[in-house]
Amino acid sequence: MTKKNTNKKEKSIEETLWASANKLRGSVESAEYKHVVLGLIFLKFASDKFEAKRAALIAEGKEKYVEMKEFYNQSNVFYLAETSRWSYIVKNAKQDDIALKIDTALHNIEKNNPSLKGALPDNYFSRLQLDKSKLASLLDTINKIDTQKDPSQDIVGRVYEYFLSKFALAEGKGKGEFYTPKSIVNLMAEMIEPYKGIIYDPACGSGGMFVQSIKFIESHHGNKQEVSIYGQEYTNTTYKLAKMNLAIRGIAGNLGEKAADTFGQDQHPDLKADYIMANPPFNQKDWRGANELVDDPRWMGYEVPPKSNANYGWILNMVSKLSDNGVAGFILANGALSGGGEEYKIRRKLIENNLVEAIVILPQNMFYTTNISVTLWILNKNKRSHTKDIGDAKRHLRNREEEVLFMDLRQIGVPFEKKFIQFSEPQIKDIVKTYHDWQQQDNNYKDVPEFCYSATKAEIEKKDFSLVPSKYIEFVNRDENIDFDEKMGALAAEMKILLQKEAQSKGDLLTVFKELGYEIEL
């Protein structure tokens, strides 16, 4: 008799909740549904914390204070009126006006807690006209989250982050810009080490950079009270996601008075940040640029960025926000590494001013919104010798003022969600070690073919200030002028022609090609 396999992997609470919640979505677009689900998760979390504090006040014999906002706010707990509490919502889950009751509850929570101004979904439930029975079932699903079960595990934070990633995956290309894949954010945080000071993100999406910065601090036994969070987000619904994401984790942050365009309505004009982490829109065409911001102080000392593409507008915005010892890590499309015109002049001056510290090419298919390979830039206002404290550790940084580290990570990564790539924790550790060894001029650092190379400013000047890593990193038995992604793109085009000619075998070939990470549409 065949023995039944009992070693089946048990689903996590995040996976179980997602499967249930997604099943109840029905015909509602994922882009809309995420605000419903994440709003309800926040409501459950806020209510559980409120009830716990209320019970503590009663246990202390302070019944007369249980409806006074001040006694909750001083403990970083949001005050909830009776009709805003989860118990009230669940009790009325099957009523015809439950959508209106939820909208009213969220509105009143915002009204009673000024720090949540502009954070919660605004009339989503009534406007979407969700099926009443599905909404009741969704409430029942989220009711299963015990947000207070183990505070050290940050259960609600895990659920929120998991749902953000799954919604980003569901929305796919052309959408999902609110979310930067976790392993990229983790890599960035481990490289620039935002341990204490001011952290800024000019295109903060749902706030993932801030969350990972706090996780970095906690993992190195630091104090999150020693950092200040500043950010800005253009899209109003995403701005709300970010504010909820921070509130759920007890992170205080200044995201500006409202959702606004970083170029046209800078919410932090005088800010000087110690750390900047960002994933701004790639190759943004419709920005205010050269037409309206010719004399903007953020460009001072540089050319005005071209109106055809905002990449260098984002770079100069971040340069202008860096403190004297500030470090910035951000993602841009590979096109920003080369090219002429104003971009060339700005890039050349950045290199001449010794601001560019590292250029790291990432693999294709890491982002849910595009399958192109992109670049992680690290700019550093202080590449000279100094000592950096990271908790109990001290990092003695040597003078790398005249050098730039190039890294190519396109052959690194593990499969994720079938068609995507992410970095594993050991891979991140190895990448980060290479970077920190280089910073310290450690004997462990060596140029490695097809992986990393430390280029002098003189070498970069000889290459006409191009920052394309393949121009510096040694490729064994390979012409250094061949761009891997360009070559694979050409191969994809050839493959498409072959597949059209060999229709009987195209199914199998398409599958193989997709497994290699390249999408072909016939």
DSSP H or E stretch at residue 516 = none
Question: What was the pLDDT predicted at 502?
Answer: 54
Same domain, 126 and 232: no
Crossing angle of helices 425-439/182-192, nearest 10°? 30
Q: Distance (Å, rounded) from C-alpha 445 to C-alpha 192?
A: 18
Position 55 in a domain: yes
Q: Tell me how far apart the alpha carbons of residues 473 and 385 are, in angstroms, rounded to a whole number.
A: 25
Predicted local confidence at residue 372, as pLDDT: 79
Q: Which pLDDT score, from 0 to 100, does residue 274 have?
A: 97
403-452 pLDDT, tens digit each: 999 999 999 999 988 788 999 999 999 999 999 999 998 778 999 999 99
Q: How far is CA 333 from the centre of its chain?
A: 16
Q: DSSP states of 104-133 as a string?
A: HHHHHHHHH-GGGTTTS--SHHHHHT--HH
pLDDT score of 87 more than 60: yes
CA atoms within 13 A of residue 186's CA, in its CB half-sphere: 14
- Which residue did the predictor score with more confidence, 117 or 501? 117
Same domain, 150 and 178: no
Q: How far is CA 403 from CA 4, 135, 145, 348, 351, in A?
A: 60, 57, 50, 14, 9
The verdict on residue 477 lying in a domain is no
The answer to whether residue 351 scores a pLDDT higher than 90 is yes
**Residue 145 zone, left/alpha/beta (φ > 0; ψ -120 to 50; rest):** beta
Q: What is the CATH number of the domain that holds 413?
A: 3.40.50.150
What pLDDT sits at residue 6? 46
Please report the pLDDT score of residue 102 as a whole number. Answer: 94
Predicted confidence at residue 173, as pLDDT, reads 65
Shared domain check, 465 and 356: yes
Note whether 17 and 147 are same-domain residues.
yes
pLDDT at 455: 97
CATH of the domain at 70: 1.20.1260.30
Q: How far is CA 146 from the centre of its chain?
A: 26
Q: Is residue 1 part of a domain?
A: no
In one letter, which amino acid is 285? K
Closest CA to 372 of 312, 283, 435, 246: 283
Query: Using an 8 Å Cβ cutoff, are 317 and 202 in contact?
Result: yes
Residue ending a domain, among 133, 168, 203, is 168
d(CA 422, CA 363): 9
Domain with 378, as residue range(s), is 172-471
Predicted pLDDT of residue 3: 45
Predicted local confidence at residue 480, as pLDDT: 47
361 and 408 belong to one structural domain = yes
Cα dist from 490 to 273, 371, 469, 486, 511, whole Å: 42, 15, 20, 6, 18
pLDDT of residue 507: 54
Do the domain assignments include residue 5? no
Residue 219 lies in a domain: yes
Higher pLDDT, 358 or 518: 358
159-177, pLDDT tens digit by residue?
A: 888 888 888 888 876 666 7
Are residues 433 and 348 located together in one domain of the fold?
Answer: yes
**For residues 43 and 109, is the Cβ–Cβ distance under 8 A?**
yes
pLDDT attached to residue 504:
46
C-alpha–C-alpha distance, residues 195 and 359, integer Å: 22
Same domain (yes/no): 181, 229: yes
Of 122, 152, 168, the residue that ends a domain is: 168
User: pLDDT per residue over 266-289, tens digit each?
Assistant: 999 999 999 999 999 988 887 876
Mean pLDDT, rounded, for 241-260: 92
Q: Which of 168, 189, 220 is at the close of a domain?
A: 168
Mean pLDDT of 60-87: 92
For the chain, the domain total comes to 3
Any domain includes 19: yes
Same domain as 246, residue 381:
yes
Confidence class of residue 25 from pLDDT cuts 50, 70 and 90? confident
User: Quick one: average pLDDT of 391-405?
Assistant: 86
Structure confidence by residue, pLDDT tens digits, 295-349: 899 999 999 999 889 999 999 999 999 999 999 999 999 999 998 999 999 999 9
Are 269 and 331 in a shared domain? yes
Q: Are residues 377 and 284 part of one domain?
A: yes
Q: How far apart are alpha carbons 232 and 239 in whole angstroms?
A: 8
The C-alpha torsion from 312 through 263 and 119 to 148, rounded to 10°, is 30
One domain, residues 307 and 361? yes
pLDDT at position 318 is: 98
Please check whether residues 127 and 188 belong to one and the same domain.
Answer: no
What DSSP line would sit under 21-41, residue for residue?
A: HHHT-TTS-HHHHHHHHHHHH
Residue 499 has pLDDT above 60, yes or no: no
Q: Establish if 75 belongs to a structural domain.
A: yes
3-state DSSP call for residue 273?
strand
Percent of the chain with pLDDT over 90: 57
> Residue 518: pLDDT above 50?
no
516 has a pLDDT exceeding 50: no
Kindly state whether residue 520 falls inside one of the protein's structural domains.
Answer: no
SS3 490: helix
Mean pLDDT, range 456-477, rounded to an integer: 93
Predicted confidence at residue 509, as pLDDT, reads 56
Of the ranges 262-271, 291-300, 393-402, the best mean pLDDT one:
262-271
> Who has greater pLDDT, 33 or 510?
33
pLDDT of residue 156: 86
pLDDT at 369 over 70: yes
Nearest to 241 by CA among 257, 259, 219: 259
Percent of the chain with pLDDT over 70: 87
Give, as one character, the DSSP assignment of residue 356: E
Mean pLDDT over residues 106-124, rounded?
A: 90
